A and B are shown apart, each in its own frame.
Chain A
Amino acid sequence: MSDFTEFEAGQVVFATSFPVSREDLVAYADASGDHNPIHLDEAAAKAAGLPDVIAHGMFTMGLVSRAVLEWLDASGRDANLTDFSAKFAKPVVVPAGVTVNVDVEAKVRKSDADSVELTISVRSGADKVLAPARATFTLR
């Protein structure tokens, strides 16, 4: 049970959802040092041609890292994240005073005894936000 042989390509390994608000973006801007105003200020976002404030792509990718690390932890395997990538397809729009959901679902892309590669789809409402993300875990 401690390796990755039980997984099959196409198998869904988890689905989860994260609520995101403007406060989360402020906290991420402070922690990451990315203070681009399109992630904080509605007027700046609209001036840049966006419908409203958008989440940092790296914030969304960070939530995906949390989802896959929590899955690994729960699976009881002793592995390292060795490769993690994402293509930013559409922004997560975060209007003031509401919470939007970022829905994350991970499937096995391929696996062998030593490693598993997940394909992670990320949606906000009807939009595919990441197209897609991928994460590889390799046994220590």
Chain B
Amino acid sequence: MLNTSYVGRSLPATEPVAISADSVSRFAHALGLSDTAAVPPTYLISLTLPAADPLIADPEFGLDWSKVLHRDQRFVYHRELRAGDEVSCVPTVESIKTVAGSDLLSLRTEVRSSGETVAEVWTTLFVAGDAA
């Protein structure tokens, strides 16, 4: 079971990193998208999930990654991102709902660039309980 006292808690912003042209190109190629400098819509998941690593590493939180299924995903884009843009992620534990001994964990990650929020990314994970 997850530690529900973490609801509302945000992790410190990740160090800003420049989105490399090479990583954008490889991501676009893997999906058959035309290869331009525009960051593919789902590319942000490759930044937002690693940004939540401290939660996985935190024994107090109790998240066992081997019991996780991806349930829901949403991206809201406030501005188009291009290769070369520097971004930083701020993950927040938005909610934890317990259903029949398993948890539904919703994370909301703000993606920031040059001081503004350029995207919001919601990831809902189903975390199977011990009996499941």
Residues of chain A at the chain B interface (Cβ within 8 Å): 18, 24, 27-28, 30-34, 57-59, 61-63, 65-66, 69, 80-88
Nearest CB of chain A from residue B111's CB, rounded to whole Å: 14
Nearest CB of chain A from residue B48's CB, rounded to whole Å: 11
Instruction: Contact check, B33 vs A81: say whether CB atoms are below 8 A apart.
Output: no
Can you list 12 A-B contacts with CB-CB less than 8 angstroms, sorted by A residue number?
A32-B46, A34-B49, A58-B45, A58-B70, A62-B30, A63-B32, A65-B31, A65-B40, A66-B33, A80-B77, A83-B76, A88-B72
Neighbour of A31 across the interface among B27, B72, B76, CB < 8 A: B27
Task: Tell me the count of chain B residues lying within 8 A, CB to CB, of chain A.
Answer: 26
Instruction: Contact check, B32 vs A82: say whether CB atoms are below 8 A apart.
Output: no
Neighbour of A57 across the interface among B23, B31, B33, B70, CB < 8 A: B70
| A32 with B76, Cβ < 8 A, contacts A58-B42, A88-B71 known | no
Instruction: Contact check, A61 vs B40: say whether CB atoms are below 8 A apart.
Output: no
Q: How far is it, in angstroms, between the C-alpha of A65 and the C-alpha of B75 when the chains are bound?
A: 11
Q: 0/1 per residue, B53-74, Cβ < 8 Å to A?
A: 0000000000000000111111
Decide yes or no whether B101 CB sits under 8 A from chain A.
Answer: no
Across the A-B interface, the 7 shortest Cβ-Cβ residue pairs: A85-B74, A31-B30, A65-B41, A62-B31, A31-B26, A27-B30, A28-B30
The residue among B32, B41, B46, B74 with the most chain A CB atoms within 10 A of its own CB is B41
Q: How far is it, in angstroms, between the C-alpha of A83 and the C-alpha of B66 when the chains are bound?
A: 29
Set of chain A residues within 8 Å of B33, measured between Cβ atoms: 62, 65-66, 69
Instruction: Contact check, A87 vs B72: say whether CB atoms are below 8 A apart.
Output: yes
Set of chain B residues within 8 Å of A81, measured between Cβ atoms: 41, 77
Instruction: Contact check, A63 vs B76: say whether CB atoms are below 8 A apart.
Output: no
Set of chain A residues within 8 Å of B122, measured between Cβ atoms: 85
| A69 with B41, Cβ < 8 A, contacts A57-B70, A86-B72 known | yes
Decide yes or no whether B80 CB sits under 8 A from chain A.
Answer: yes
Q: How far is it, in angstroms, between the C-alpha of A62 and the C-alpha of B75 when the chains are bound?
A: 12
Set of chain A residues within 8 Å of B77, measured between Cβ atoms: 80-84
Decide yes or no whether B50 CB sits under 8 A from chain A.
Answer: yes
Decide yes or no whether B9 CB sits under 8 A from chain A.
Answer: no
| A82 with B31, Cβ < 8 A, contacts A31-B26, A61-B42, A65-B42 known | no
Set of chain B residues within 8 Å of A80, measured between Cβ atoms: 77, 80
Neighbour of A30 across the interface among B26, B45, B69, B71, CB < 8 A: B26
Instruction: Contact check, B73 vs A61: say whether CB atoms are below 8 A apart.
Output: yes
Set of chain A residues within 8 Å of B26, measured between Cβ atoms: 30-31
